[in-house]
Structure 1
């Protein structure tokens, strides 16, 4: 059985390093659309959904305080719009 020998010249080594580093730089380039969304003033994560094992689903608008709460009636899902400020004033 012959021994396998592996030789590479310096020029090919540096060309390979340059190619790998260029590919890694292109793969890690930030997405400009995501960068714009994360700027201040952009409605980032405006709506949040809350669910539990034994509870109803609630979808909250974090900017206005309004939310939708699931009220299943006779097995059919129905959504009731509510306002947190109005509900808090009633208490």
Structure 2
């Protein structure tokens, strides 16, 4: 298995999304006090900056969870990643 392959079994592999337009990851910060969030962004620093602004505006809101979405695709093992 390569680094971009998470699991392979039964003639199928799960691989990082090969589409060139797909982001490698999408980041979001969510306040654990009120559940407001930064919204999804490809820039992790933008999500973190939102958390700082949120804590500044609401000093009792100091806990956050980071949500990271990575994109994967299941492909038959006999099909190459570049064969779309």
Quick check: TM above 0.5? no
What TM-score, normalized to structure 2?
A: 0.29
The structure where helix makes up a greater share of residues is 1
What TM-score, normalized to structure 1?
A: 0.28
The structure where strand makes up a greater share of residues is 2
More relative contact order, 1 or 2 (CA 8 Å, 6+ apart)? 2
